Amino acid sequence: MLLLILGTALALRVYGIAWDGGYLFHPDERQIMFVVDALSFPWPPDWSVLLSPESPWNPHFFAYGSFPIYLLRIATGIVAQFKGDFRVLRQGYLLGRALSALFDVGTVYLTYRLGRKLYGKAVGLLSGGLLACAVLHIQLSHFYTVDTLLVFFVVWTVSLCVDLSRLPSWSIALPLGSVYGLALATKVSAAPLMVPISLAWVFVALRHSENVEGEVWRGRGRWFKALGGLVLTSVIALVVFVFCEPYAVLDIRSFLVDIMEEGYMARVGAGIPYTKQYIGTRAYVYPLRQTVVWAVGVPLGIAGFGGALAVLGKTVKEIAKGQWACAAEGFLPLSWGLVYFGIVGSFHTKFLRYMLPIIPFLCMWAAWLLVSVLRVPGIRRRIRNAVGVGVFILVLVPTVLYALAFMNVYRETHPWIQETAWLCRNVPPGSQIMVEHWDDPLPLVQGQGDLDCHGDYRISVFPAYHVDDEEKLATLLYRLETSDYIVLSTNRLYNTIPRLPDRYPLTSRYYELLLGEELGYELVHYVAVYPRLFGANLMNDTFSDPDLPKPHLLAQQETARCSLNLGRADESFTVYDHPKPLIFKNTGHLSREALLAQFGDIVEEFSEDAGE
């Protein structure tokens, strides 16, 4: 059964691994590939250079940890020894994605081991099975970013904390500190792992247990031993971190600048264009809903968070009774989930991938809850089994079906490739195409073969995030007059700006009029790829929040689809591997006066402001 689970997890994670045709549509993955490609390991090494910020080993990029960067650089270097024409930017992404998938399969295995360790074999197997089919894990395994590597080290660290609480010994400080150091060298957001690590050493002292060598952790000295173990773990973690990310020390200024910028982006970054989508979203509620609906699916999401609450209640009772042994084992994973979600859920920026480090534990708690239903005392066995099996099926079957439906994203050609092919075939050379800033332009800039037509067109960029004023109005009117086509590559801007009408009255009106086809532009082509199974689509709605009209062609065709509308999906969940590009053609050729009339009240406000 375990082999079947791991095999299924691997198959789901490597299926369609070249989903974007090598164009690297995920910006974080693209950045990592650029950094890896720029690294060089000269031999023999000149240590005077290597130990300085100018070193060719210095990634000069610390938004993510250096361990994933060095790992891929070493892996690509090994492959290049056997394949002379191997190039990082051309083939390295496939190797990176294979590593991402393997690390995530490792997380499935670790989750099985942790579930079995805490709650028995049945919970362990079910935990691994649920995680194998968790859609967000499947999706992020198709990118080489740092998320799957981070979660692997997070689950491993928590598992070692449970081992420590069960069998106290200073010897466990070495693997525990090493794995924690690797987690930090993957992404500094692993820092809150210090909470379960510290609690594990506290529980060591509270349990008065014996270690491997037979020494009794009793009396006043046990607290000094626990403190010594915590210090030793921290020192080992620091050493491993510096070894795997040396330029965090050697180029500490760049390291601190990047970390502070990332921290600002996450906590406050309302002024950064790609984080404005989260203005007005509710702390904790938004990431909770996105996780339940999109990351794992509603049945598993409810069971996971419900199981977490049940484990919390169980742990509180055990602590009240002084049952430290049982409390420690259940509370250590819970402490990570509570602290991490408490921090991340409060962020302004709420990328769905930020929730990945708690999903393995949600799967474990869901498995424990489902198995516990089968063991409820005081109820007739037949009734208990019937209810338990029913609940089990209601969670497991939809989770499996959701994972299979999501495979449609990688079964179909990426929407940007489809849309570029349509533009190359149907739009005459020399046409004026208006695209948006802060988004990938279509046709593809570096299209190859039949997709190489970007240079055939006159491309103009509409600065939608610039301040709404008379100059922006003049630019917009000129672009609308002179453009032949308007291409919206994703919903990045039109799904964000209209939710900020006080800040962007002009641009909000523009999107409302464009999508309502009132500016002389008609939607002539679009591509929508959704999770689909048995002909039914799980549709993410890009129009109802904010309240925007649907273009006629899209409304007509989507009405004919067999679809379940699940509402708004986090932008980062859709725009990389299954965006919905829209192409509008200028069929009305409205005059400047006619266009200006559509923005009449906005123009009056600008005139009044200018007069004041």
The stretch 275-281 carries a mean pLDDT of: 91
Q: What percent of the chain has pLDDT over 90?
A: 72
Mean pLDDT of the chain, nearest integer: 90
Q: How confident is the model at residue 608 (pLDDT cuts 50, 70, 90)?
A: low
Residue 294 structure tokens: 């999109």
What does the pLDDT read at residue 328?
Answer: 75
- What's the sign of the alpha-carbon dihedral 82, 88, 94, 95? positive
346-372 pLDDT, tens per residue? 999 999 999 999 999 999 999 999 888
572-584 pLDDT, tens per residue? 999 999 999 999 9
CA dihedral angle for residue 8, residue 13, residue 14, residue 15, rounded to 10 degrees: 80
Q: Tokens 């464009």 — which residue?
A: 514
Q: How confident is the model at residue 48 (pLDDT cuts 50, 70, 90)?
A: confident
Within 13 Å and on the Cβ side, how many CA atoms surround 572?
Answer: 22
Q: Considering only residues 142 and 82, tell me which one the structure prediction assigns the higher pLDDT.
A: 142
Integer CA distances (angstroms), 261 to 63, 171, 306, in order = 8, 38, 35
Q: How confident is the model at residue 388 (pLDDT cuts 50, 70, 90)?
A: low
Q: How confident is the model at residue 214 (pLDDT cuts 50, 70, 90)?
A: very low
549-574 pLDDT, tens per residue? 999 999 999 888 888 999 999 999 99
Instruction: Please tell me the pTM assigned to this model.
Output: 0.93
Neighbouring-strand partners of residue 536: 533, 562
What does the pLDDT read at residue 561?
Answer: 83
| Contacts (Cβ under 8 Å, ≥6 apart) of 331 | 199, 315, 319
pLDDT over 90 at 390, yes or no: no
> What is the radius of gyration, based on Cα positions, of the chain?
27
471-496 pLDDT, tens per residue? 999 999 999 999 999 999 999 999 99
C-alpha angle 238/240/244, rounded to 5°?
Answer: 115
